[in-house]
Amino acid sequence: MVGLTYQQQQALLQRVKSLEKWKSQVEAHMSSGGTPGADSDHSGQTQAESQQQNPTV
């Protein structure tokens, strides 16, 4: 975290939280045998946001 601005730290934390949330949703779908529906669209959105943040890291 050294050398990162406060804003970059918050962006990384938010990204990690969204990935953990996405992971838990996927695991829940896998265990229940269901297929991702609206949640998959949301996870795709968070992945796109993460890709935009990559160059700043």
Three-state SS across the chain? CCCCCHHHHHHHHHHHHHHHHHHHHHHHHHHHCCCCCHHHHHHHHHHHHHHHHHHHC
Token code pair at residue 30: 């896998």
pLDDT value of position 55? 52
pLDDT value of position 32? 85
pLDDT value of position 51? 56
pLDDT value of position 17? 98
Q: Are 34 and 23 in contact (CB under 8 A)?
A: no
Distance of CA 26 to the CA centre of its chain: 12
Each residue of 1-57: pLDDT tens digit? 578 999 999 999 999 999 999 999 999 988 887 655 555 444 444 455 555 555 555
pLDDT value of position 6? 96
* pTM, to two decimals: 0.45
